[in-house]
Structure 1
């Protein structure tokens, strides 16, 4: 396994780590969501289950949690009544709370989710006629500051842990009523790690969550139906391919370093040449498994015929397709969307060079759920802020006591 390079490890990540034990809630019970089978078994042993039987019980719990979507231990009839009672006393199977549930006129649905510590992130379900994709967040806020992205105007608050990432999938399945986990005809058929945050700056938690999602005895979404999008964390790209083997999408958005330095500032650390070399070396890359290059169309910035021709030159030798994304506006955005005619000419140049270059149809614009529009009200709080809030709550509770 490739070690995380120092500059990545040093990134701000005020997060619950990819833990080996369950997170404990306010009621003292531990959440099993996001734990691996060995971690569930260890939690059972810590709760008094014999080691010999803990592994089997963990497999049974896995089936109920991830295949059947159950949150109620009393419904887990393959377990003894005594064990179910003990589990209910010690454990929970969580979901994030829903702060807002918005539905677009085109069927797109956006949930603003609140986690146990009160922080919030968004996820979006995009339905098609016979399938659908869930856009999943990996961070509250974002490490990066891409100028065209609404999330990029937020500071990074913290990473999401594996349970919080998986919880987004579980919640969407709940709302779509797709339990037990169906094999065919799913309206949650694809996962795209394209929500809030940079997934490769939270790779341990993202990897753990996606391995749970891909497990054939649970949610069972194939790695070929999962796409991870990165703005270009070059040292982590090979590790992503080797450990997960999911589809890769690159937020490219410019063909010159001077422009990309401005609109995707991570380019200053990992310029286009290094990024494209990492793409060319991506494990499992072939004509059947192409890399998707995402390219947001910004009026007068990156949308000329010369830009299109340079994009074709840069992609030479890389099995690739290009997603052209009309810029989705948000309050205070510094850019405008390219005209339809400009986008069409750009697409034609790329397509005629042999690369698929569909123009993405904006979905969910009316509820701010389209690409680049996600943002929550969470803000990074200092330790002093948190202590002040706790003191105020304690003072209020004391004042409410009878004299």
Structure 2
């Protein structure tokens, strides 16, 4: 267990920290156990790590998890408790209580996301504090192995982006619409091509953004229907490896046809702002300072935010087992540390024009940053 987490337990004056849930939706649980399960289980963090799983999962957990101790609900006589309580949930809570008592827990920490239905009955027997997860900040600093995992996902992301760009480049502008092989080229077609490429690389992605024209004025609009000619198309791909579960993240904006002057100016401003943000990143600078450097470029070039238009979001975020995690590159963003992985993704958005966004993935280093992104930045195809 990380020494930072042990110090957290000591400074919080608790005997242990408990998670209950599944490690597919809860990345902290996966990070701390290395056990991937869609069914509920419990993790107790003390000087050693103990997990409590169903009897069906005990053998697998012993082989796959990094826990010091693996116990099952059968070890706590779950079936006898079920007969006594009459309800599976009540029997599970009784097993949890015995599990905690066996580990000498009186003062217990739980995360803000801890299930209330379990919290309430446990709180009658233990002194419980609701705290920030001890894994949340520990996860932000990546090991060399984690950076390798993220880089692998990023390469898959780039291959998928290249496939999307090639399809758009092969399309033919007809009026205000792009056509491919005689049919309108749609956002759904591009998204399918991206999904197929990612699957071939052992990755998966949900809610990939392929938004053209005025749809791209909404930063998180997925995009639907025929793609426009002569108008920017925002492609934002954030895949996760199905093997090691680390994410990558990248955005490019492309255009097929003739680029209006105002779109070229937007693109130039976004590129300049991104370069300023990347140039500012280093260990010891705050995420707020990086965000300010990006915002200053937009201000100087005449693109101040107004009524929900312009640069309407943060500069970036951490990437790891979640696509959005610490640190934040935004107002109030914390001090960056070496080996954190972050995005720099400025954008400009206007309802009558659409949107332009560029996003690279970077590793924070002591004297700058390492850009993991190798994809070109060409507006007009």
Relative to the length of structure 1, the TM-score reads: 0.24
Whose Rg is larger?
2
- Return the structure number with greater strand share: 2
RCO higher in 1 or 2 (8 Å CA, sep ≥ 6)?
1
